[in-house]
Structure formats: structure tokens, C-alpha cells
Structure 1
Amino acid sequence: MSRRVVTLAHYYTAPEIQKMADKVGDSLELSLFAKQSDAEVIVFAGVRFMAETAKILNPRAEVILPDRGSTCSLVTQTDVNDLKRWREEHSDYVHVSYINSSAEHKALSDWIVTSRNVDDIIAHLYSKGRKVIFSPDRNMGAYLNFQYGYDMPLWSAVCEVHDKFNEEALLTAMQEVEGSVYLIAHPESPLPVLKRANYVGSTSGMLKWIIDFSGDSNSTIFVATEDGILYNMGLARPDLKIAQAPIYAGCQCNQCPYMKLNTIEAVKRAQSGDGIKIDYLTEAQMNAARAPIEKMLAFSQGDRSVW
């Protein structure tokens, strides 16, 4: 008897991978889907921390990552022992961690956030009189400090894809197009780029911004995030001129090398049960990592009693 297999794909995977998926979304959407799924096997076409999150939220399912190399610079740039010491140095702070982090990292956190809910959750904590430290994404934390006047101590890792977006190259590209120009950006991008943006938000938030855009169709919209989402934006609004923001003069070619390891062949193998099984997390590790994720999910579903 065959087992029920569900394939999840992040927006940053290639179009042909998204077409193979039962669900395409951002981190929050896929986390919720994984938690609620009754599948016996979850194939996660994304990166390792996403597959770990799926396993933490749905420990009954077998979770398979198509390629062993699908990691994330926010994980590889974070030494968990150093992170533990940093947290201990700020023992009277609430440790808020971005979901783009390892299971070990999550287990050292009080809250997990996504780019979609980070603004609301940190504002909620400050409204309760709490002090916050933020990890691992330095750029996202710097933007929050700038935008809201926080003084959060920040961890030092960055997304190697978003960190390449360049203000000087962006301004040059904007000057070379005719008509109105807009910029939308993911908060993992550097602060000088974010300061130029008409909208800063999550992957799903940027897609919604494109769908809802009511300006001149001759406008050019630059997008500062991984190029996978441009496929979805083009499907939603083929009438718009949408381009990836440059990383240096003349270059609009910024891809996540780890997401692109999710090839058709690798995903097919995973769907047949041949992939990297997320079976190395202990029950104690999953319980410790699940607690801050569940806080986030409760908050996102309207529970404001958690802090």
C-alpha cells in the first residue's frame, strides 16, 4: 500500500519545481501547511531549516529534503555555541529568532518569527515592556531598529543572496529606465537598499503588492529578493514590467544556490523516498524548538496573550 506523499516548495525554487508541488508558499504558509498535513511523507523542496521546521511541527510524518547541500548562509554563519554565550550575556532579554535558522538555534530562542510577522511580534514584546535581542539576520534587525527606533542587539549573520543587493547599482538601473520606477524589497536586504523601497515585506507580501498594484502599467518595478518569486509575479501580473534589483552594475542574476539544488531529478527521488531524511533530531530538541514556533503560530492566529 502506497504512502500519502505531499510535496512542498518554496517560492524561491525554480518554476519547474513549483509545478511539481502540492503547495507553494513562503516560510509561514509552508510551516502551517506542514503542521496541519495528514501526509505520511512530506517532501520539502526548500532548504534544510525549512524541512527541520516541518518535522518539528509534524513529528509523525517522515520529512525528506531532496538535496543534502540545501543549507542557508544564516545557518552556516552562526556558531550555536557562540549564540548560546551571546544569549547568556543578554539573559534579561527576550531572544527573538528568524525562522531561517537551525533547529538547535530555534531551541535557544524565546520566539520564532517570519518576515511576515516579525514587525508585529517585536512591537508586541516592546508593548509588554520587554527588551529584545534579534538573530540571526543582521540586515533584518538593522531595518527594524531603523524603522521603529529600537535598540536591539543583533546577531551578525546575513543571507548571502539578499546581502548582495547594492544601492549604487540600483540607483543606476533606476535612472536607465523610462517612466515611473518602484522598488519592493525583502527585509533581509541591506539597509541602504531598504531605505529606497516603496514596500518592504515578506515574499508573500511582495507578491500581494504586485497583484494589488494599480499604478501605470508602463512603470518598472524592481524586486530585491531571490529571483524565484519573479516567476509567480509574472504569472499574476503579466502586464507589468518586473525586474530583479541589480547586485552590481549591469547584473540582475541573483539566485540562491541552495534553493536551486532542488532539481527535478532530486525532487522525484525524494518523492520515491530517496533523499535526506530529517530523522536526526531528538525528541528533546524538537520539543525545545517547537515551543517558540508555537508561540509565533498562536500569535499569527490572533492570540495576544503570549509573551
Structure 2
Amino acid sequence: MAVAHPIQIRFERYDGQLAIAPATPPRFVTPEEKPRIIERIKHLLKERDAVLVAHYYVHPDIQDLAQETGGTVSDSLEMARFGHAHSGKTVVVAGVRFMGETAKILNPEKKVLMPDLNAECSLDLATPIDEFSKFCDAHPDRVVVVYANTSAAVKARADWMVTSSIAEKIVAHLHAQGKKILWAPDKHLGDYVQRVTGADMLMWNAACVVHDEFKAVQLEELKLLHPGAKVLVHPESPKAVIDLADAVGSTTGIIQAAERMKAKEYIVATDGGIIHQMRKRMPGVTFIEAPTAGKGATCQSCAHCPWMAMNGLHNLLAVLENPNPKNEVHVDPEIGRRARIPIERMLEFAKTHLPQMKGSGDA
């Protein structure tokens, strides 16, 4: 059996310095063993009274498993909300660590498991709680609004948590009240929200390693090759890429935009994992991944989050066969209590300002 070695992923810290974090690919699954592993996972989910919730960005095999076993494939907040509403005693989160934490915050009474707790997020990594708290303390006149892609501790320091589908509406609401915003962590999403709302926003410095690599020049070249294609862009992307979009939206919003626009061809600027669901919902439509590298450029993520890719069939099976503490998500009860406040504040706001909200499309 081949041993998977970690790859080293570069990301920008809040202070502008480059840092490195490992991502370990999961064990390869052969075509011969895949049916047996899938059937075993299905059996264990039922036996453990567990539900599998998967993000749009994980491997298609895991997405299909979640849907076939009564779970869900969605964005991180809907994953947590689904786990809360489900009767199962255990929630298995196929995603990255902050998603497992969010699920635990909203489901403190349930066991929350992940195939690999070392699955990180560059936005989370770039927002350490000690430095972020200092930043907040230095600007006490500002309302602290944080994106879902942050740790439980950072959420606990915030006044509001937002996702990309509702960030614009919440910031516009606060701006209308005369409030000044302290925004963290994604600088591209923050810039987009600021441009749309006109709000006074002080930005933390961080970016998603996937969306930060989309290239506007190469996207323009791709559009020339596919003149009939509509461009769908996640707002974590750089401004030059967003400016080329026919529709800008969250993960859920991108899918909905494609269904609404009814084009025959789309160029998609977000993690390529989402295309699996788009093809299932819109057979016969062509979906093309937006370019992440061009002449002289290098690509380390290539439109696929290396930490999302850590979720595999083998480690999913292992966590169900032997649910041990190293795969269980724990959140300090007091931090969880405080982190739940900005999350529930957003959910309450969504009831009246985004009534069709079905998931949040945060990452």
C-alpha cells in the first residue's frame, strides 16, 4: 500500500508574510475495492445512527454517498443546520475543520466526526485568534463581522457571522444604521461587499488559496474560445475576475444562477468540486473550470482545495469503523456558546431578509 506524503501549501498570513501548511492526500481507492467500501460505509452510517453531510468541494464519490444515504451536499452552514435538524446522534462532516466546528457549535449535544481533522482552510489559518483579538481591540468603534471560514474562537469574538450569500445584505443593513465594519478574513469578498454596499469597512488580510489563483487575462482568453459561455464567479475571487462575471454568487448561488440563466455553456470560477452537482442537475450543459494559471504562472491548488481533497473513502470508512477521539470535533463549551450568538444573529436576520435561504455558500 502506497503511503501518501503531505504536500506543502503556501498561503498569505495576515501580516503579508508567506506561510506553509501541509495537506495529505487520502489513500487511493482502486476500482475493485470501491463498491465494497461504499457499501460498508452505508451500512455503518445506519448502524451508528449517523448522517453524512458533505461540502460541494469534496470528491464526487463522497457527495454521492451523502445524497444516497439521506445526508446532504451543500455549503458549510447548511451542512450544520441539516445535521441539527436530522434525528441522527452522530454527524459526519466531510469538509474542512471550521465546518466541523460550526456543526458542533450548532449541535453541541451530538457527536461530530471528520475523516481528517487536519483538513485546514487558508482563511482560518491566516486569522489566529490572538492577533485578531488585538486587531478588534484596537478598533472598538467598529462592528466585527467575520466570514464563516474562521475558527470557533474567532466567531466567538465577532458580533456577526456571515456567509457569501448574505454578507452583502447584512453589511448593507449595518451601513444603513451608520455602523462602521471590521471585516475578516477574506480580503476579496470584503472588497466586493464594500464596493456593492459603500460601507466603511476595515479589512483583515487573508485570501482563499483556490479563488486567489483565478486569472483575469487567461479568463478573457478562455471567453474568446467560448463566446457563448456565461461566466459564474465566487466573490472570494480577485476583483479583475469578478469584473468579468455574468453572475457573482456563493456556491449555492452559482448553481442557482446556472439553472436560472439556462445557457448551454458555463465557465465556473470556484472550486471545481461543485461542477459534479451542476452536471447532475443540468445534464447536457457544458461546465468549464476557470483558469488558475497562465504564461509564467504556477498553480498550487488548480481550482481544487487541497484540504477538501483530504476527505477520501478510506478515511471516511475508518472514522465510522473506529470513531476515536482523534477524529471527533470538540469546541470549548464557553467558546461554543459565544460563537453561537453571531451565527444565530445571522440566521434570524436571514428569516426576513433572505427567506429563500437554503444553505449559505460560504466556501
TM-score by length of 2: 0.79
Aligned to 2:105: 56
More off after superposition, 113-122 vs 263-272: 263-272
Aligned to 1:99: 148
Distance across 2 between alignment mates of 1:214 and 1:43: 34
Distance across 1 between alignment mates of 2:279 and 2:239: 26
Distance across 2 between alignment mates of 1:114 and 1:70: 20
Aligned to 1:82: 131
Aligned to 1:277: 328
Instruction: Check conservation: 1:173, 1:249, Cα contact below 8 A.
Output: no
Q: How far off is 1:71 after superposition?
A: 0.7
Distance across 2 between alignment mates of 1:236 and 1:303: 27
Instruction: Check conservation: 1:74, 1:136, Cα contact below 8 A.
Output: yes
Distance across 2 between alignment mates of 1:291 and 1:303: 18
Distance across 2 between alignment mates of 1:262 and 1:193: 29
1:225 equivalent to 2:225? Answer: no
Aligned to 1:207: 255
Q: How far off is 1:34 after superposition?
A: 2.3
CA distances 1:191-240 after superposition (whole Å, capped 9, x unpaired): 1101111111110110111122234x3xx311100000011111111222
Amino acid at match of 1:299: F
Instruction: Check conservation: 2:171, 2:197, Cα contact below 8 A.
Output: no
CA distances 1:44-82 after superposition (whole Å, capped 9, x unpaired): 000000000000101010101111321100011112111
Instruction: Check conservation: 2:51, 2:83, Cα contact below 8 A.
Output: no
Aligned to 2:234: 186
Instruction: Check conservation: 1:65, 1:278, Cα contact below 8 A.
Output: yes
Percent identity for Structure 1 against Structure 2: 36
Aligned to 1:299: 349
Distance across 2 between alignment mates of 1:285 and 1:214: 44
Match of 1:249 among 280, 294, 303: 294
Instruction: Check conservation: 2:146, 2:155, Cα contact below 8 A.
Output: yes
Q: How far off is 1:266 after superposition?
A: 1.1
Residue 134 of structure 1 aligns to a residue whose secondary structure is: strand
Q: How far off is 1:181 after superposition?
A: 2.8
More off after superposition, 247-256 vs 49-58: 247-256
Match of 2:63 among 13, 18, 32: 18
Distance across 2 between alignment mates of 1:117 and 1:146: 15
CA distances 1:89-132 after superposition (whole Å, capped 9, x unpaired): 11111100000100111011000011111111111111222111
More off after superposition, 189-198 vs 264-273: 264-273
CA distances 1:232-252 after superposition (whole Å, capped 9, x unpaired): 111111222210100123889
Distance across 2 between alignment mates of 1:237 and 1:100: 28
Distance across 2 between alignment mates of 1:181 and 1:130: 40
Amino acid at match of 1:301: K
Unaligned stretches of 5+ residues in structure 1: none
- Cα distance 1:303–1:213, how it changes in 2: closer, same or farther (>3 A)? closer
1:266 equivalent to 2:315? Answer: yes
Backbone CA RMSD of aligned residues = 1.9
Q: How far off is 1:4 after superposition?
A: 1.2
Q: How far off is 1:28 after superposition?
A: 2.7
Distance across 2 between alignment mates of 1:283 and 1:26: 24
Residue 55 of structure 1 aligns to a residue whose secondary structure is: helix
Distance across 2 between alignment mates of 1:303 and 1:286: 26
Instruction: Check conservation: 2:233, 2:248, Cα contact below 8 A.
Output: yes
Aligned ranges for residues 3-42 of structure 1 at < 5 Å? Answer: 3-21=48-66, 22-42=71-91
Instruction: Check conservation: 1:226, 1:256, Cα contact below 8 A.
Output: yes
Q: How far off is 1:255 after superposition?
A: 0.5
Residue 334 of structure 2 aligns to a residue whose secondary structure is: helix
Distance across 1 between alignment mates of 2:229 and 2:332: 50
Q: How far off is 1:303 after superposition?
A: 7.4
Q: How far off is 1:254 after superposition?
A: 1.6
Aligned to 2:96: 47
Aligned to 2:43: none
Distance across 2 between alignment mates of 1:270 and 1:127: 47
Q: How far off is 1:188 after superposition?
A: 0.7
Residue 19 of structure 1 aligns to a residue whose secondary structure is: helix
Unaligned stretches of 5+ residues in structure 2: 1-45, 355-363
